Amino acid sequence: MVELVDAPHSKCGTFGFVGSSPTAPISLMETYQRLPLRIVRGKGVWLWDEKGNKYLDAVAGIATCSLGHSDRKLSKILAKQLKKIQHISNLYQIPEQEELANWLVNNSCAEQVFFCNSGTEATEAAIKLARKYGHIKKGIERPIILSAKSSFHGRTLAALSATGQPKYQKGFEPLVEGFEFFSFNNSNSVENLYKKLEKNGPRIASIFVEPIQGEGGIHLGDKKFFQFLRELCNKHKILLIFDEVQSGMGRTGKLWAYEHLEIEPDVFTLAKGLGGGHAIGALLVKENANVFKPGDHASTFGGNPFACKAALTVATEIKNRRILENVRFRGEELKQGLLKIISHYPDDLKEVRGLGLMQGLVIKEDSKLSPKIIVDLALKEGLLVIGAGPKVIRIVPPLIINKNEMNELLKRLHSCFNKLDN
């Protein structure tokens, strides 16, 4: 029998349980500026802190908790899955993974799927795919990927290099080479960049773009611009890759944001709402873009039975509960409510941007208001919201929010602005 003893000279303390009490120092790296809020449970669109205070959640794990918190159906199915099997290597066939892949293919323009664990990992897979496509399909020695300014594609080094926001890249140079940037929704910017890069022969392998820019400030893709991108890519056999990490799985009122643009990408990435709060990401491709072979890419945890069962449950519930219809109705109520708030504060507020339950309230550039001021005030009103860019308040509640809850969300948000007058 092994005897457990204290280790008085160790930082870890007795049995290594430092930080187990609320008063103990927190040993987390400071990579987040966390709000003074300790969440302990949730149900539907509501969260409770350790003191029993109740909050309406319009952040949803940053557009992730599609079915809200502690969903009964999701909890029941995942508990059952845990008793069955939660992980098996991709060296073997995984029924839950195959079922999810089939659902995604049957409900999108894609023909094959690769599973990973996050949006950033899906971006990494897309970058590798684009580079290999450039090498073997176009004979490009050093392929270039075009990305949009103000975009956001993730935090790993290649994903960061594809992100068109220097503030995220500062301090992490040298970045991964092979990315050039155009102005979002600007056909002339793309055309000029294309001519510059291709004047001595093919160099561009893909265009990587969000149909709705999320972190950049909730900028909607212009339909004509995206149709221009599709035509350019068709003409020159360039891959058109969409980042649907935040906008996919019903967030905009359609299953995929590309449906609003009336075109189809060759490749698109998913994560966030796909697992309803459980870690899963995906790369979806059409046959013409499928250049990966065994050994080209892999993920230890990607597409494990537990994560795939979570995503299958989200997918099934989106259909069974008519969630897309709910997103459209609630999205219109949200838009009209935000416009009403703007009408009361025209000196500070500019416009509403977004679709469905991915919307942003835009603060005027010359206003002294910032998203942080509103986020802090909202916390005191029992409402959780988040910023997107320097002048946008982002509102992305669970997709199951009902009419009364939406009215309460708008009421509490309006109260934040009323407090500014007092």
Please give the Cα distance from 244 to 63 (Å, whole number): 12
* Statement to judge: residues 56 and 88 lie in one domain: no
Mean pLDDT along residues 319-324: 97
Mean pLDDT along residues 128-150: 97
**What integer pLDDT is reported at residue 7 of this predicted model?**
43
Mean pLDDT, rounded, of the chain: 94
* Statement to judge: residues 315 and 267 lie in one domain: yes
pLDDT in tens, 351-402: 999 999 999 999 999 999 999 999 999 999 999 999 998 999 999 999 999 9
Return the CATH number at 173.
3.40.640.10
Taking CA atoms, 259 is separated from 54, 93, 248, 284, in Å, by: 36, 32, 10, 15
* Statement to judge: residues 144 and 51 lie in one domain: no
Strands 281-285, 39-43: pairing kind:
unpaired
**What integer pLDDT is reported at residue 420 of this predicted model?**
85
pLDDT in tens, 391-408: 999 999 999 999 999 999
pLDDT at 25 over 80: no
Return the CATH number at 49.
3.90.1150.10
* Statement to judge: residues 104 and 61 lie in one domain: no
pLDDT at 2 over 60: no
Domain assignment present for 58: yes
For the chain, give the percent of residues with pLDDT over 70.
94
* Statement to judge: residues 315 and 415 lie in one domain: no
pLDDT at 10 over 70: no
Cβ–Cβ under 8 Å, residues 372 and 416: no
* Statement to judge: residues 283 and 353 lie in one domain: no
pLDDT at 4 over 90: no
- Listed in sequence order, the residues at least 6 apart from 85 whose beta carbon sits closer than 8 Å to its beta carbon are 305
Using the 3D structure, point to which of 292, 320, 348 is the last residue of a domain.
320
pLDDT at 94 over 90: yes
Cβ–Cβ under 8 Å, residues 134 and 143: yes
Residue of higher predicted confidence among 128 and 21: 128
pLDDT in tens, 273-301: 999 999 999 999 999 999 999 999 999 99
Please give the Cα distance from 317 to 330 (Å, whole number): 17
pLDDT in tens, 68-86: 999 999 999 999 999 999 9
The beta-strand segments (E) located in 64-222 are 112-116, 144-148, 179-182, 204-209, 212-213, 219-220
* Statement to judge: residues 316 and 335 lie in one domain: no
* Statement to judge: residues 307 and 203 lie in one domain: yes
Q: How many domains does the chain have?
A: 2
- Listed in sequence order, the residues at least 6 apart from 192 whose beta carbon sits closer than 8 Å to its beta carbon are none
pLDDT at 21 over 70: no
- Would you state the structure tokens that stand for residue 189, as one six-digit string? 């910017």
Whole-structure pTM over 0.85, yes or no? yes
- Would you state the structure tokens that stand for residue 312, as one six-digit string? 């299958």
pLDDT at 15 over 50: no
For the chain, give the percent of residues with pLDDT over 90.
91
Domain assignment present for 6: no
pLDDT in tens, 294-311: 999 999 999 999 999 999
Domain assignment present for 14: no
pLDDT at 3 over 60: no
Domain assignment present for 54: yes
* Statement to judge: residues 327 and 271 lie in one domain: no
pLDDT in tens, 116-126: 999 999 999 99
Rg (CA), the chain: 23
Domain assignment present for 8: no
The domain containing residue 50 runs over which residues?
36-65+323-421
**What integer pLDDT is reported at residue 419 of this predicted model?**
87
Domain assignment present for 153: yes
- Would you state the structure tokens that stand for residue 279, as one six-digit string? 């870690």
Using the 3D structure, point to which of 320, 336, 351 is the last residue of a domain.
320
Domain assignment present for 282: yes
Domain assignment present for 23: no
* Statement to judge: residues 117 and 227 lie in one domain: yes
* Statement to judge: residues 287 and 147 lie in one domain: yes
Helix crossing, 305-320 with 72-84: angle to 10°? 150
3-state helix, strand, coil in the chain (%, to 5): 40, 20, 45
- Would you state the structure tokens that stand for residue 104, as one six-digit string? 């995604």
- Would you state the structure tokens that stand for residue 24, as one six-digit string? 């103990």
* Statement to judge: residues 183 and 309 lie in one domain: yes
Using the 3D structure, point to which of 303, 320, 337 is the last residue of a domain.
320
Q: What angle do CA 394, 337, 344 make, to 5 degrees?
A: 95
pLDDT in tens, 217-241: 999 999 999 999 999 999 999 999 9
